[in-house]
Chain A
Amino acid sequence: QSALTQPASVSGSPGQSITISCTGTSSDIGGYNYVSWYQQHPDKAPKLIIYDVSIRPSGVSNRFSGSKSGNTASLTISGLQAEDEADYYCSLDTSTSTRVFGTGTKVTVL
């Protein structure tokens, strides 16, 4: 299973909203609602911020939201803050128990 495609980098100014895309095919993203998003700060472990396309785990800021349309899932960060500067990865969590991650997106807060 090939990695899901994400933009290498996205940037925005504090307070702005940005959106990160995660593109697959009808056989993966288009066929399942098990898309997760992870945030990873430098030299830290990934942290789950969205699962099942749009659900936020307890304790995750409501500035993070997820959606899906066709073969593309999206993560939106609203009210961008300096602490949001990190790498973000999407993941498809299919019923076969295997996983495929996206290529990763570096978010820069200008």
Chain B
Amino acid sequence: QVQLMESGGGVVRPGRSLRLSCAASGFPFSAYAMHWVRQAPGKGLEWVAVMSYDGSDQSYADSVGGRFTISRDNSKNTLYLQMDSLRPADTAVYYCARGYSPGPLDYWGQGTLVTVSS
């Protein structure tokens, strides 16, 4: 069965960096676009970034563009999110999700919590 497992979350000071990972299994990882979506405590879903199936294309939300970098290693079935210059407003649960372009996000991981605080 399809499984997505995020890791790498934690508490970090403003201005510092953090890298999230998403390990995928149960499907041909290299055939799917992959997304990051976040949810601040008590708030709604916010799309963050997407990478194409082969890593050739990526897009970002305006709120993270220039600070976050999405990448993938298809040989390791793993998606990454490099987060630099973190701000308190980046505090959220970060989910990775399998997606279609265009189309829905049909499988989601359980999320990893990132807290940006001094």
Contacts and interface: CB of A to CB of B under 8 A. Distances in A.
B44 A3 contact: yes
B59 A96 contact: yes
A95 B57 CA distance: 13
B103 A34 contact: yes
Nearest to A47: B108
B45 A51 contact: no
Interface stretch (B12-20, B22-30, B94-102): B94-102
A110 interface: no
Contact of A48 (B50, B102, B105): B105
Given A36-B104, A45-B108, A97 B59 contact: yes
A28 B41 CA distance: 27
Contacts of A94: 102
Given A93-B100, A93-B103, A46 B50 contact: no
Given A36-B105, A93-B104, A98 B47 contact: yes
Contacts of B108: 45-47
Nearest to A40: B45
Interface residues of A, number: 29
Interface stretch (A18-26, A78-86, A100-108): A100-108
Interface residues of B, number: 26
Nearest to B44: A104
Contacts of B44: 3, 87, 89, 101-104
Contact of A52 (B37, B47, B103, B110): B103
A95 to B, nearest CB: 5
Given A34-B104, A47-B108, 20 more contacts: A32-B102, A36-B104, A38-B105, A40-B45, A45-B108, A45-B111, A46-B108, A48-B104, A48-B105, A51-B104, A52-B103, A89-B44, A91-B104, A93-B99, A94-B102, A96-B59, A97-B33, A98-B61, A99-B35, A99-B47
